[in-house]
Chain A
């Protein structure tokens, strides 16, 4: 087993540590709160000579992702980081990076999208990018952000995938909160990620090739089908890489983390830091005899529809907590709920599902809110009726 050192780190600094150990060829990035802590720390590593990375300080996130695309097409191991409006400004390039099958790894410190202007956490930024073709991993803690970042390199560069990966953590709640993070030896990380040998490279002058070529009605459709096929293979790769990571570093990850789900009749599905609050409540309710469990999704893209439906097979009622609204969707529900409903329907599951929007713009989530959710779930399980499909936690009515 690898020797690790416990360090008191903010979540963003944990991500920067992972980037230092990965030592990518190129990082092109633009600062934006609350992600700045990552690129600022990383640029210090560059200035101090701790990494050999070519750091490109660009004029915008649009340029940041463009430079990443160029560097990745040239055959480099490429990373960046962003948040909120910065991610939105990358919108065009996000699709291009994925469609060109470039294994870029990006940290996203989740933050609410403007307007009104807000720098605090919600998931509207990355949920807006959910159909861009990137793999999305959500982290509950700084430790998970660190571990996911290292694994993301292996996932992205897997020859069956060649897909970009986003690694998320919650802005301020995780990004700026200090916690103990086990940081592995540099050599262990280096050995785990291995040397990147790009299959396709613009700098491979002996094999000249064109990237991003003209592709009309006679081929574009086939390339899109090929892209969705690559994403369908991602789940197996993620599971395999996670297992190897577990064997090497002693921390195990799956597609999701199931807590107290074995005999659960009620379930809560949630992403990122709120899983910690929800777990505390579930633990307390279990002590009171309530058969409730928690599913913390780690992988949102590709969406683990079958696996999630299997995990919820014997559940009577499930509450999905969304930190984003899919505006104009069924009753203004959140994206995680909509995906979960689709998964349950396709699997013929009988569970009643209900959605709660919470924490928008950094609004605190208290254990009492989760207790309200649990109490609603008990009522739904008893009556078989959902009174309100989409509710709001912590909203002033």
Chain B
């Protein structure tokens, strides 16, 4: 990313970015309207949500579902949509549905 307060003579030509992966430093999670919530107790770690997440916001360690990257999750709901595991009562929301459920983002 360009350095803060760079003048027009200093900024990269045409806004080009020369360091790959610099989005790591940029919090885009603030756009989120809906927040995904995960039930670790009932998750089977099939990781289908990890495959589908368009923002690489499902963090997996040693083959196991670990956490959401809420700094980059846009709340699109694809993870909740593709989650195949049904639950009678979600540990976070208390509702029947799937292991990942969407709730309104509270800020």
- Residue positions of A touching B, CB distance < 8 A: 99-101, 162, 200, 207-213, 215, 218-223, 225-227, 229
Contacts and interface: CB of A to CB of B under 8 A. Distances in A.
Given A208-B20, A210-B17, A223-B15, 6 more contacts: A101-B13, A200-B16, A209-B17, A211-B16, A226-B11, A227-B14
B32 to A, nearest CB: 17
- Most chain A CB within 10 A, of B6, B15, B16, is at B15
A229 B18 CA distance: 22
B21 to A, nearest CB: 9
A208 B20 CA distance: 6
Contacts of A225: 8
Nearest to B22: A210
Contact of A162 (B4, B13, B15, B18): B13
Task: Give the interface SS of chain B, mostly helix, strand, loop or mixed.
Answer: loop
Interface of B: 2, 4, 6-9, 11, 13-18, 20
Contact of A219 (B9, B15, B18): B15
8 contacts: A100-B14, A162-B13, A209-B17, A210-B16, A218-B4, A219-B11, A222-B11, A226-B11
B11 A209 contact: no
A222 B14 contact: no
Contact of A226 (B4, B13, B20): B13
B3 to A, nearest CB: 10
The 6 lowest CB-CB distance pairs between A and B, nearest first, are A210-B17, A225-B8, A222-B8, A208-B20, A215-B15, A101-B14
Contacts of B16: 200, 209-211, 213
A100 B13 CA distance: 8
A63 to B, nearest CB: 22
Given A222-B6, A222-B7, A229-B8, A207 B15 contact: no
B17 A223 contact: no
A230 to B, nearest CB: 8
A207 B16 CA distance: 12
B94 to A, nearest CB: 38
Contact of B11 (A100, A200, A210, A223): A223
B16 to A, nearest CB: 6
B8 A213 contact: no
A73 to B, nearest CB: 10
Nearest to A224: B8
Nearest to A215: B15
A261 B90 CA distance: 86
- Most chain B CB within 10 A, of A99, A210, A215, is at A210
Contacts of A208: 18, 20
A229 B8 CA distance: 10
Contacts of B13: 101, 162, 200, 226
A305 to B, nearest CB: 22
Nearest to B10: A222
A219 B2 contact: yes
Contacts of B15: 212-213, 215, 219-220, 223
